Amino acid sequence: SQKIEQNSEALNIQEGKTATLTCNYTNYSPAYLQWYRQDPGRGPVFLLLIRENEKEKRKERLKVTFDTTLKQSLFHITASQPADSATYLCALDPGSLTYKYIFGTGTRLKVLA
Amino acid sequence: KAGVTQTPRYLIKTRGQQVTLSCSPISGHRSVSWYQQTPGQGLQFLFEYFSETQRNKGNFPGRFSGRQFSNSRSEMNVSTLELGDSALYLCASSLTQTDGVKNIQYFGAGTRLSVL
């Protein structure tokens, strides 16, 4: 069956360290993969998009990698801060012209001061 | 520019009732998608509308329906509510898909529906 898994439901790390979140998928061949951040009581907010022909994308302290062979995306937050504490969701499109995204269940990140 | 607006923010209903949720997309966005979010299942796609037409539908029963108006505002309706329909319902708008490139989705804050 088709599914997306994010490595862990919750992840605690110390401030200043690098947080690494994993998104694995099976039975999809997505052209794009996105990462969103969701804070309690709010809707998800877009962070980064990476295409299948891109290995890596960066934005400030954020970095995303996309390995279509492993069917995996890694999301890194360097020099993490308590303000980075949130739930992070990966989302992929199951194919062109499908007009929808499939979301992972999310990883709840807590950065400890 | 105003963001995606969802109303109401909170709703309490009883089993068997029906409910209508509203979503106003970002100005200029013609695509509106609806999602159901629960702790166990995460974000589940309900349907997507573009220019008043439903282009895709998720695996939900027919009790879940939606529509889009000419001004791109959208509503979703759930009839004969069940306890399991308790969830956060999120609406997302995006610019028209061009050249096969998926566009960023901008989410509203959601409507928290509780079915008693």
pLDDT tens column, A1-21: 668 888 778 899 999 999 999
Does the pLDDT at position B1 exceed 80? no
Average of per-residue pLDDT values in chain A = 90
Cis peptide before A44 (omega within 30 of 0): no
Chain B within 8 Å of A1 (Cβ-Cβ)? no
pLDDT score of B40:
80
CA distance B116 to B114: 6
Does the pLDDT at position B88 exceed 70? yes
Chain A within 8 Å of B60 (Cβ-Cβ)? no
pLDDT score of A32:
85
Res. B33 pLDDT band, cuts 50 70 90? very high
Contacts of B105 in chain A (CB under 8 A): 44, 46, 101
Nearest chain B residue to A96 by CA: give it: B100
CA distance A65 to A56: 4
Res. A35 pLDDT band, cuts 50 70 90? very high
Res. B96 pLDDT band, cuts 50 70 90? low
Residue-by-residue DSSP string for chain A:
--EEEES-SEEEEETTSPEEEEEEEES---SEEEEEEE-TTS--EEEEEEETT-SEEEETTEEEEEETTTTEEEEEESS--GGG-EEEEEEE-SSTT----EE---EEEEEE-
Question: Is residue A37 classed exposed, middle or buried when 0-12, 13-18 and 19+ CB atoms within 10 A define those classes?
Answer: buried
- The structure tokens 């008693």 sit at B116
- Rg value, chain B, Cα: 14
pLDDT tens column, A73-99: 999 999 999 999 999 999 987 766 666
Provide the token pair at B94: 């995006």
Q: What is the mean pLDDT of residues B83-112?
A: 85
- Taking an 8 Å cut-off on Cβ atoms, the answer to whether A32 and B56 are in contact is no
Of A32, A45, A103, the CB nearest to B43: A103
- % of chain B exceeding 90 in pLDDT: 76
Residues 29-58 of A with CB under 8 A from B: 31-32, 34, 36, 41-46, 49
Provide the token pair at A31: 């052209």
A1 CA to centre of own chain: 21
Contacts of B103 in chain A (CB under 8 A): none
Q: What is the mean pLDDT of residues B1-30?
A: 95
- Taking an 8 Å cut-off on Cβ atoms, the answer to whether A89 and B4 are in contact is no
Does the pLDDT at position A101 exceed 60? yes
Q: Strand A10-14 and strand A107-112: pairing?
A: parallel
Q: What is the mean pLDDT of residues A23-33?
A: 86
Q: Which of A86, A102, A99 is nearest to A23 (CA)?
A: A102
Does the pLDDT at position A48 exceed 90? yes
Q: What is the mean pLDDT of residues B65-73?
A: 96
CA distance B53 to B69: 9
CA angle B88/B52/B84 to nearest 5° reads: 25
